[in-house]
Structure 1
Amino acid sequence: MSTNTVTSSDIILTGDRTTGPLHLGHFVGSLRNRVMLQDVCKQYLLLADTQALTDNMGNYTKVSDNVLQVALDYLAVGIDPAKSTIFIQSLVPELPELFSYYLNLVTVSRLERNPTIKDEIKLRGFERDIPAGFMTYPVAQAADISAFKATVVPVGADQIPMIEQTNEVVRKFNASVNQEILVECRALVPENGARLPGIDGKAKMSKSLGNSLTLGASSDDITKAVKMMYTDPNHLRVADPGQVEGNVVFTYLDVFDTDIEKVAELKAHYQRGGLGDSVIKRYLEEKLQALLAPIRARREELAAHPDQVMAILKAGTEKAREQTAKTLDEVKRAMGIVYF
């Protein structure tokens, strides 16, 4: 689905877990779209520190410290607080209250069938030792989305089951009160599928897997990451024909190089032999250095004034609460539990 389908009447809700600075995968999958979307709709950006705690209890500073880090990334790539509302999830008490009501609309078996949850449980090796907060986070996400009456939620293709479950909660609640109080939403999936493989080529880019490249990466970090990138293990000599499918360097070039003809030429040369991995890696590095240098500079400038960044978050959180308080009041009145 293209961002062109979003109109000025749409309300966008999206966010990121505050477990570390954002990386290139986020930039490709969502951040670029968010910068564009803020000019055509009403956008809320959630710093999901509460959600991050679902599998980081006991590691609190990792979560709280990264609220500022993620905010810096947002601002550095071009998110404008005058156009987008950036807020901190844990400072909006209406969200957990809605969550507590919605839990009664979802069964444990339904949560266990959620494909996204199943994949995340496997990835983290929880097996049956699953934190209840983690198992129920699709319901918490439903509260986040519906509290703002969001009509569109930008997500990766792997998150579509979460949107489906949100809409199930919305429908069940509306049916339970026989009123149309909450609003269903639709997923906005980037054309590239919102996925970028890690530099090791084995999985999507992820901080927890140690295969990511952050938006604030130094010039040396970028050089080191590109040198480590997975290519074709059978391309042992420059003269050997190489494979471009599954080759992380070419995957990144497809995403970050706007010169499509140049990339096609490099692919053809690599496939017939005579083009070394070091050459294509140097070419990719030039592209990444040019992309990240201005983001890094802006981020460093903002990081020098953390109080100003936190002031932006405070103002955004206050604005977010205005909307969530209104929705919560409507929900409670529909349920008949407003007593005074």
Structure 2
Amino acid sequence: MGMRERMRRLIVGLFPLLGFVGVVGGGSSVAAEQLVLNSYGGPYEEIIRSRIIEPFEAETGIRVVYDAVGSSSQDYAKIKATGGRPGFDVVVMTAAQALQGCQEGLLQELPVDVIGELAALSPRLSDAAGPCGAVHEVQYMSLLYRTDHVEGVPSSWNLLLEPALSGRVILPTFQNVMAVNLLQVMSHMNGGGLVDDLDPGFAAMASVARQSIGFEQSSALLDSYIRDGSVWAMPFWNGRAQLLVDSGAPVDYVRPAEGTIPLIATLSVPVGAENKDAAYRFIDFFLRKSSQEAWVEGYRVSSARSDITVPEELLSRQISEAELDQLLLPDLTVMATRMPEWSERWDRDVVSAARR
């Protein structure tokens, strides 16, 4: 094989990696249609690839570049810092960021005439996320515990304060909205509010921090502690908790009697996204009935669609739209304005109280 032929094969081999298709030598090259999806790593990445991304690519021919960097708050900070041009086309965040991004003009209002599956979602949940967020899953913050170290079935968040669990608790960092939700639940339990008068919540969280071995940002890192037995209890999203139960780990999870807060997860498109048409097609695909059934079965979460078939073993452990009134529902718009202040206080009052 001559040098010219070897170079030709090398160049052709590089084209899929560069995102181009075309003819080498006399033909024109055109950019292959693609989109960049910013989301999470760990089990989430494995499941979304097999259940959503690969079927989408096979059906549409659009290549999905997966960007598993950052938490929801960090992703939104990047969107804000870049004026809505963060380098990704679809981002997985929560309803709180979707609302904030709409208000600040950094997220695109999703076209209901293009993304037809939006009409199939619960109006109540769609309203909670606003016009810039497509609700693709619903979870709630559960109390996850080791069944081989915690006696009986706990019924209260106060398990995290039990002396027997000193040094056996771990907390999320404030960049993970689960930390904010636990702060709000603790405030509610102790006579405070969900967005106002959080003094009781910060005091309670300082006590929990003194019990903890520290803080971790991602769910993938948090679950490693309880899986290996170094942690016996912690807050955790119920879908991820169910994955741990399904894996055979000696764990279980409950919705404590004092209540909990739902996680309304959304798909959004930054205003400066380069591949908006592909982004809208991806969101529409993710929201369709068959995709939602595949996602619920794989990631063990709830859906904003009421017409899907849910595996029997999950029904009793999920939240339905009818149960939303039984949950603690903070005003997400107010939350967005208070977060910077709460973050500073978390570092001052909670992180400083953690075990050394």
Normalising by the residue count of structure 1, what TM-score does the alignment of the two structures yield?
A: 0.26
Q: Which has the higher strand share?
A: 2
Q: Which has the higher helix share?
A: 1
Q: Greater relative contact order (Cα 8 A, min sep 6): structure 1 or 2? A: 2
